[in-house]
Structure 1
Amino acid sequence: MSTPTTPSQAAPDRAAVAQMVDHTLLKAEVTRGDVRALIAEAQQLGVYSICVSPSMLPVDAGAVLVATVCGFPSGKHHSEVKAAEAARAVADGAHEVDMVIDIGSAKAGEWSAVQADISTVRAAAPAPTVLKVIIESAALTDEEIVGACRAAEAAGADFVKTSTGFHPAGGATAHAVALMSRTVGGRLGVKASGGIRTGAAAREMIAAGATRLGLSGTAAVLDGLDQQPPAEDGAGAADQGY
């Protein structure tokens, strides 16, 4: 499965933005009925994928791809546990896995440990499974964001991703997305997630270099793509799972 290419300079239309979206539902109280409704909405909206908790797998999403998470949301799991979770998810039909790094290791500058953590999951979920690495950018300094992106690339990840949407420090910002995009230089995709609630916020993330969006309120974002100015920043607060 290939990494999406960087968007063109022209602002993408609704259909193009929809094809950048991981339509996401990761709340703890989610039922299988909720997931069925998510799939139906995903198919109606024409999104790229759904993203659900691994315990909800397997699912039949038709032509819509299936993503899941591992080590979520804290990242404070042994690497072997993350790897087992990822391998089980792939066996259950996941096309993509979004893993959370140990944020404490990044804060401590322990980049060999961060890389080893990602590498362990990569080995358990090899290509063509797409591996996205959640760095929780709002909790990191610029220097730490760069270090986390470099570790993800060295470990063979396909994407770097801003946020879980659950961290109190907040979600995606255009600054973080732009910094991540410059660091990976088109060699990896960049997923913006967490607090993106308006069409204007989505366009801002894409302009900053995002090649994928994690959204829970996808319909409202797509409906608001032509609305200017944005009703709110939309990129700072946690979003209860994107």
Structure 2
Amino acid sequence: MDRKTIFEKVDHTLLTQTATWEEIRQICDDAIAYKTASVCIPPAYVQRAREYVKDRMAVCTVIGFPNGYSTTAVKIFETEDAIRNGADEIDMVINIGDVKDGNFEKVESEIQAIKAVCGSRILKVIIETCLLTEEEKIRMCQVVSRAGANFIKTSTGFSTAGATFEDVKLFAEHVGENVRIKAAGGVASFDDAEKFIELGASRLGTSRIVKLAKNEAASGY
């Protein structure tokens, strides 16, 4: 698989608590240079990043991040604010406690409400696979598919583990035809990226792929 194909599926990501504007600006520059799918950044930087990249790059941000237990009203407000500030794509975290309670109707209703705010913009639903049983993951594939979201996403990258090949394979077997898959956290190499894509992922949430390419370029590889 050529590198261009991989870069086109990368959401070039920086979501650390210590992220500075200079670091955000740099990943925007790198995303544009490598033609990634988007930059995925904290909500506080969305407006500034939009003004900086203009129409050269899609801007993605996160909602209810990373724990997912904000109320639906708060998540809706966050989404509306992000869109006003120029976000093209929204990655929301589900309320994992609702999943553990078996309250899948509430989870589905929340996703539907946020998708209604997003309209034609892309909505990705983070289910935090490392905290769920296999049965819960399968149920969430069904919930996300019914709710009308564009993507199901494995992980925040802030919990106990990130994406696994097994989870992406499981998603591919259980999501609806209109739902795509995003693997996030743990995409550590071009080989990883290629395998995740082959298993069914069409987006990769990672900062490492571009960093690897930059390091190779700097070393004259």
Q: Give the alignment's TM-score, normalised by structure 2.
A: 0.91
The 3-state SS of whatever aligns with 1:29 is coil
Match of 2:124 among 121, 126, 132: 132
Q: For 1:147-173, what per-residue CA distance to the aligned partner results, in whole angstroms no more than 9, with x for missing partners?
A: 1121112111000000000012x0000
- Which residue of structure 2 lines up, in the alignment, with residue 216 of structure 1? 207
Match of 2:103 among 100, 106, 110: 110
Match of 1:50 among 39, 44, 55: 39
Cα distance in 2 for residues equivalent to 1:201 and 1:41: 20
Matched, 1:194 2:185: yes
Give the number of the structure with larger relative contact order, counting CA–CA contacts within 8 Å between residues 6 or more apart.
1
Match of 2:170 among 154, 179, 182: 179
Match of 2:5 among 16, 25, 28: 16
Matched, 1:68 2:61: yes
Cα distance in 2 for residues equivalent to 1:174 and 1:186: 20
Change over 3 Å in CA distance of 1:202–1:223 after alignment to 2:
farther
Match of 1:167 among 154, 159, 170: 159
Of 75-84 and 147-156, more deviation after overlay is shown by: 147-156
Q: How many residue pairs were aligned? A: 212
Cα distance in 2 for residues equivalent to 1:216 and 1:100: 19
Change over 3 Å in CA distance of 1:201–1:99 after alignment to 2:
same
Cα distance in 1 for residues equivalent to 2:212 and 2:201: 15
Q: CA deviation at 1:219?
A: 2.0
Q: Which runs of 5+ in 2 are unaligned?
A: 216-221
Is the helix fraction higher in 1 or 2? 2
Q: Which runs of 5+ in 1 are unaligned?
A: 1-11, 225-242
Cα distance in 2 for residues equivalent to 1:184 and 1:155: 11
Q: Give the alignment's TM-score, normalised by structure 1.
A: 0.83
